[in-house]
Amino acid sequence: MATSSTLCLSELFYSIQGESSYAGLPCVFIRLSGCNLRCSYCDTSYSYKEEGRLVEIATIIKFVDEHPGAIVELTGGEPLLQENVYPLITELVTKGIRVLIETNGSISIARVPGEVCAIIDIKCPGSGVENPILRENIAHLQKRSQNAAHSSEIKFVISDQNDYHWAKQFIHKHELTEIAPIIFSAVTSAIKPRQLAEMILADQLPVRLQVQLHTILWPGENRGV
- Give pLDDT tens digits for 38-87: 999 999 999 999 999 999 999 999 999 999 999 999 999 999 999 999 99
Residues near 178 by Cβ (< 8 Å), separated by ≥ 6?
A: 145
Peptide bond preceding 128: is omega within 30 degrees of 0, i.e. cis?
no
pLDDT tens digits along 118-177: 999 999 999 999 777 898 999 999 999 998 888 999 999 999 999 999 999 999 999 999
Contact assessment for residue 77 and residue 50, using Cβ atoms and an 8 Å cutoff: no
Instruction: Kindly provide the residue ranges of all beta strands, DSSP E only, lying in the chain, ordered along the sequence.
Output: 6-16, 26-32, 53-56, 71-75, 99-103, 117-122, 152-158, 182-186, 208-210
Closest by Cα among 12, 102, 5 to 52: 12
Indicate the residue type of 6: T
pTM strictly above 0.85:
yes
- pLDDT interval class at 221 (50, 70, 90): confident
Residue 220: is its pLDDT beyond 90? Answer: no
Which domains, ranges and CATH numbers included, belong to the chain? 6-217 (3.20.20.70)
- Residue 47: strand, helix, or coil: helix
Q: Is the pLDDT of residue 13 over 90?
A: yes
CA distances from 165 to 111, 137, 157, 168, 205 (A): 31, 21, 12, 5, 11
